[in-house]
Amino acid sequence: MRIDWNVPITMDDGVVLRADVFAPTKPGRYPVIMSYGPYAKGLAFQEGYPSAWNRMAEKHPDVTAGSSNLYQSWEVVDPEKWVPHDYVCVRVDSRGCGCSEGVVDPWSPREAKDFHDCIEWAAAQPWSNGKIGLSGISYYATNQWQVAGLQPPHLAAICTWEGFADFYRDLCYHGGILCTFAKNWYDMQVKTVQYGLGPRGAKSRVTGEPVCGVAELSDAELARNRRDFGGDIAAHPLNDDWHKTRSAAWDKVTVPLLSAANWGGQPLHPRGNFEGFMRAASENKWLEVHGIEHWTHFYTDYGRELQLKFFDHFLHGKDNGWRDQPRVFLQVRHVDRFVPRGESEWPLARTQWTKLHLDPAALTLGREPAGRETKVSFDALGDGVTFLSAPFPQEAEITGPMAARLVVSSSTTDADLFLVVRVFSPDMKEVTFQGAIDPHAPVAQGWLRASHRKLDKTLSTPWRPYHTHDEEQPLSPGEAVALDIEIWPTSIVVPAGHRLALTVRGKDYVYPGGSGGRLSNFKNELTGCGPFLHDDPDDRPADVYGGTTTLHIGGGKEAWLLVPFIPAAAGDTTAAEPAVTAVTSPVEGVRPRDAGVKPR
């Protein structure tokens, strides 16, 4: 490779960004794979994120094979595996981070404009054929949705690998409840690589130069050169223009795209990947869904070869069979493996949407609605109540988005609902999965603050309630209101003898088996939700959210979980549905007395 370090790119306001360019040594013009983000392009993956790297390298030797791994960097392509295929790899440090000067303002309109101008800069370089593709995970995927909406003339294709798209609903406020991830992420992963740290920051393992530039700024200067990101989020509790200008504009995203989601990525990225596939205006769009850790499959042969085939077609113009690729390619999740399967659409057209009704007397999920009204109450900041199906008489696949209807009252003027879809083995041990971050993730999750129950009637569907989050509608204490709650898409093939459960809680899910340890780039232990917690005391004051929450079920008050059962084979119109009936035996760990539930 020919490598040019810290190439200057001057923005329209005079701020100079810096890019590293990895190019073939042979003369020519080549398509470009570009990334733009804040993680310091010169910081080695192995040094900046050692626990993630070591786990991936140990379990997936194909990641490290065929490369010196000297140029590996967090969540972007390894140029040693792309340049030989006649690509130029360009990594740009975003404004205020790494070697790029300026003020840090994550996912801001200013950043999107910078990204647009970097794309057009690359298209004009003598080593470029004018076709620019965008690639990367997480931050490097999310800002692809943003810049694609600006429609740079030379943007030819994007691969958004696990990238959220709705700033309010996906990142900041889940169902209207503040998530503390973004504030903590900013402290751990952005401030640590801010431009101006100079020799106080890390050094490049290749060049020996500071990855945060040679300039050394004081702590006061550094603070002035970055937004108070957590404070900005807290100052915007509704989905106002501040959030909307940082979110995807689907009608303007027309570029060919490959959207790659992770079943275990709740509660951050996968919603954006599914929404992007469904709502982007692009005629040429594909959806891939996988499992295991957030970063792994981007680097494995499976993921890399899929991306290469996509970019080869749209950037090199190769007739390589990509057009025959299924529009939807799923790694269907089983309790012990993933099974690949091609589909034509999302949600799947043959889905048999099935309401499993909550029975308040037996705390079960079943086919028939409850009879007379019964109330189930629990501590509004507590572990809540679990409704459990009977053992499935045969294997059954659940793949798709889910939703729930609850009728709820509170002893105060609001209530936060945390919904968790779970699977239990025949001996009543919970079956969890390696999530994108947490090693013990449940099947699916959903959230809603009762005062945010207002629906957008034009965008809502039975399987994906869509809340406006543009006003608060406080509760009157004791008054029951209906809530439609979005549960993010999932996939699980439930084995015969296993049970499905819905837990309605007043706080984040906690894996009952204990901590999953820590990763080097997150503040908290991994206890089931990874770093995606809703534990800000200012957002959930006890006088409002610490009362008693009551579920009203029966007597015309419907309460159900909408489940996307998938027939055993494509074209089969008879559902492989479980006979979900009442549970007659007590279930250890989810009985009313264990969960602090008061049925009456």
Using CA atoms, how far apart are residues 597 and 340, in angstroms rounded to an integer? Answer: 41
CATH 2.60.120.260 domain residues, the chain: 352-566
Q: How far apart are the first and last CA of the chain?
A: 72
pLDDT at 371 (0 to 100) = 86
pLDDT surpassing 70 at residue 577: no
CATH number for the 352-566 domain, one of 2.10.109.10, 3.40.50.720, 2.60.40.420, 2.60.120.260? Answer: 2.60.120.260
Q: Collapsing DSSP states into helix, strand and coil, what is residue 405?
A: strand
Residue with more model confidence, 132 or 583: 132
Q: Does 583 have pLDDT greater than 50?
A: no
Q: Which ranges of 257-295 would DSSP assign to H, the alpha helix?
A: 270-279
Over residues 553-561, the mean pLDDT reads: 95
Share of the chain above pLDDT 90, in %: 91
Assigned token pair, 367:
């086919």
Question: 358-396: string of b/e by CB count within 10 Å (b at 16+)?
Answer: bbbebbbbbeebbeeebbbbbbbbbbbbbbbbbbbeeeb
CA-CA distance, 15 to 515, in Å (whole number)?
Answer: 45
Model pLDDT, residue 576: 40
Domain with CATH 3.40.50.1820 in the chain: 2-161+177-236+292-325
pLDDT in tens, 200-236: 999 999 999 999 999 999 999 999 999 999 999 999 9
User: Stretch 410-435: mean pLDDT, rounded?
Assistant: 97
pLDDT digits (tens, 9 = 90+) for 455-505: 999 999 999 999 999 999 999 999 999 999 999 999 999 999 999 999 999
The amino acid sitting at 525 is E
Q: What is the pLDDT of residue 514?
A: 84
Q: Over range 508-517, report the average pLDDT.
A: 91
State pLDDT tens for residues 68-109. Answer: 999 999 999 999 999 999 999 999 999 999 999 999 999 999
Give the integer Cα–Cα distance in Å for 563 and 395: 15
Q: Show the CA angle centred on residue 405, arms to residues 475 and 415, nearest 5°.
A: 30
Mean pLDDT of the 20-45 span: 98
Model pLDDT, residue 572:
44
User: What are the beta bridge partners of residue 417?
Assistant: 448
pLDDT of residue 596: 33
The pLDDT assigned to 125 comes to 98
How far is the C-alpha of 567 from the C-alpha of 217, rounded, in Å? 61
Q: Tens of pLDDT along 230-244?
A: 999 999 999 999 999
Average pLDDT of every residue of the chain: 94
CATH assignment of 2-161+177-236+292-325, given 1.10.357.10, 3.40.50.300, 1.20.1260.10, 3.40.50.1820? 3.40.50.1820
Residue 503: exposure state from Cβ atoms within 10 A (0-12, 13-18, ≥19): buried
C-beta atoms surrounding 281 within 10 Å: 14
pTM for the model: 0.94
Looking at the predicted structure, is the pLDDT value of residue 383 above 70?
A: yes
CA distance 555 to 28: 74
Residue 581 banded pLDDT, cuts 50, 70, 90: very low
Give the mean model confidence (pLDDT) for residues 538-557. Answer: 96
For residues 23 and 575, which has the higher predicted lDDT (pLDDT)?
23
Q: Is the pLDDT of residue 181 over 70?
A: yes
Separation of alpha carbons 36 and 133, rounded Å:
12
Q: pLDDT band at 569, cuts 50/70/90?
A: low
Per-residue pLDDT at 571: 44
Tokens 């509760």, residue? 475
Distance from C-alpha of 306 to C-alpha of 288, rounded to nearest angstrom: 9
Q: How far is CA 360 from the centre of its chain?
A: 33
From residue 579, how far is each of 52, 404, 476, 508, 572 by CA, in Å?
41, 19, 39, 30, 18
pLDDT of residue 517: 87
Per-residue pLDDT, 573: 38
Please state whether beta strands 328-333 and 338-343 pair in parallel, antiparallel, or not at all (unpaired).
Answer: antiparallel
From start to end of 153-296, where are the E strands? 155-161, 173-174, 177-178, 257-262, 285-290
